[in-house]
Amino acid sequence: MEKIEILGVTVDSLTMDEAVSRACDFIEEKEPKMIATANAEMIMNATRDGELCKILNEADLVVPDGAGTVWAANYLGCKMKERVAGYDLSQNLLALSPKLGLKVYFFGSAPTVAEKAKAKAEVLYPGIEIVGVHDGFFDAEEEKKIIADIVEKQPDILLVALGVPKQEKWIYNHKDELKVPLSIGVGGTFDVMAGVMKRAPLWMQKAKLEWLFRGLMQPKRAFRLIALPKFVIKVIGSKK
């Protein structure tokens, strides 16, 4: 499997079908594995956050989430086949879960959001077994209970929505104790499923403008758009 290093972060070059197939292999192997979904902002974070960078480079799979990552990979000489958005990857795995008899746990997002996302998943993917749900706002005491709950419920897939880099660090620090075969940091996925946040219309996704849509929809995060031009400049500067 081809890999490319973008600003110190190694990203896998693979299609959505290949990513789903790797995820299924991980679940069968039953050893705790972690998938990260790297967009330009996450890679920029990793250039400033050594712990995040190390975690991404130790992750079992890092998929190219975002037009910026795909552009950078191709610019740096790797044939990146397609974008593998974390949202789409998690939906594909949720769709497969009832067919394969896999148990899922939703952890993260604001109180009630993960519950709403669970209800939505049960409509979209009849027969899905979501064995546990917990929001992503907790103190140390509550965290112990969350961990005990995940261990007890023994999901095959754990979706963690705590934002970047909290979710990647949380998964990395707890995966051996949780013993969940597959954990994925999914960012705003539950917000989109619950209808709290909108995903960009398909034409914008195709025009590689999803980042702009997210910035416009959430003015609070508009300042984060600056990460993109910085990313492009850094990638151009990094080409040997």
Per CB under 6 A, 136 contacts ligand UDP? yes
Task: Determine how many CB atoms are found less than 10 A away from the CB of residue 173.
Answer: 12
- Interacting residues with ligand UDP between 101 and 130 (CB under 6 A): 108-110
For 224, residues 6+ apart whose C-beta sits below 8 A from its C-beta are 41, 215
Per CB under 6 A, 161 contacts ligand UDP? yes
Q: How far is the CB of 65 from ligand UDP (least distance, A)?
A: 10
Q: Three-state SS for 220?
A: helix
**Distance in angstroms (rounded) separating the CA atoms of residues 15 and 88:** 12
DSSP state letters, 7-60: TTEEEE---HHHHHHHHHHHHHH-S-EEEEEE-HHHHHHHHH-HHHHHHHHHSS
Is 184 within 8 Å of 160 (Cβ atoms)? yes
Closest to 66 measured CA to CA, from 91, 36, 93, 106:
36
Q: How far is the CB of 165 from ligand UDP (least distance, A)?
A: 8
Nearest residue to ligand UDP, by Cβ distance, number only:
136
Q: Which is nearer to ligand UDP, 206 or 221 (CB)?
A: 221
Give the binding range for ligand UDP (CB under 6 A) out of 3-11, 69-77, 96-104, 184-192: 184-192
Q: Which is nearer to ligand UDP, 45 or 78 (CB)?
A: 45
Binding test (CB under 6 A) with ligand UDP, winner from 44, 62, 162, 171: 162
Which pair of structure tokens corresponds to residue 174? Answer: 């707890």
**Distance in angstroms (rounded) separating the CA atoms of residues 24 and 100:** 9
Q: Which is nearer to ligand UDP, 35 or 164 (CB)?
A: 164
Per CB under 6 A, 147 contacts ligand UDP? no
Q: Three-state SS for 202?
A: helix
Binding test (CB under 6 A) with ligand UDP, winner from 172, 187, 210, 228: 187
Give the binding range for ligand UDP (CB under 6 A) out of 56-64, 121-129, 155-163, 198-206: 155-163
Q: Which is nearer to ligand UDP, 27 or 46 (CB)?
A: 46
**Distance in angstroms (rounded) separating the CA atoms of residues 65 and 72:** 12
Q: How far is the CB of 188 from ligand UDP (least distance, A)?
A: 4
How many positions of this chain bind ligand UDP (CB under 6 A)? 14
Per CB under 6 A, 66 contacts ligand UDP? no
Is 194 within 8 Å of 136 (Cβ atoms)? no
- Interacting residues with ligand UDP between 189 and 228 (CB under 6 A): 190-191
Residues lying near ligand UDP in the complex (CB under 6 A) are found at 108-110, 136-137, 161-164, 166, 187-188, 190-191
